[in-house]
Amino acid sequence: MWRYGFLILMSVLFLFGAKNNSIAEDDNHVVIGRLEKVHIMAADMSKKARIDTGAKTTSIDAQKIETFLRDGKEWVGFTFNNQRIQAPLVRMVRIKRHGGKPIRRPVVELELQLAKITKKVEVTLANRARYHYPILIGRNFLRNHFIVDVNRIFTL
């Protein structure tokens, strides 16, 4: 008989003592999930994106990347989801790869929108064709605006 009483007591303590694991939105931060839709202003389209707090820089799938000169400055042209985008080249970054030679990737500034937040951020152009999501949102976009709840997806 005392076993049933003990089980009931433990159940009550567990239920009332359980920590609330939900994340509350505040005035300065929007709670998002590990997957969200992001709008790329230059292409005027929204695509699914993986939210990655471990990635420093945002990256998008870029095909047919070409650099060219415009008014004496270096620009980059690339195809994103069958749409051609052109932007000034900010810099080239060297990416170290496990078990392979380092590669260089162009970085451009693009305006992206997630929820009601629109930011112009540096974006690394990479062939993401083998990944499930054409956009990876890094800390440079998330900083000061978002809280990521990895238990959620497509919250917006």
Residue 120 pLDDT: 97
Q: What token pair was written down for 57?
A: 């820089």
- In the CATH scheme, what architecture does the domain 22-148 have? Beta Barrel (2.40)
Per-residue pLDDT of the chain (156 residues; tens, 9 = 90+): 555 444 444 444 444 444 444 455 566 789 999 999 999 999 999 999 999 999 999 999 999 999 999 999 999 999 999 999 999 999 999 887 788 888 899 999 999 999 999 999 999 999 988 889 999 999 999 999 999 999 999 988
Residue 64 confidence (pLDDT): 96
**Paired tokens of 142:** 């998330």
Alpha-carbon span 110 to 121, nearest angstrom? 6
Can you give the C-alpha Rg of the chain in angstroms? 22
Domain ranges of the chain: 22-148
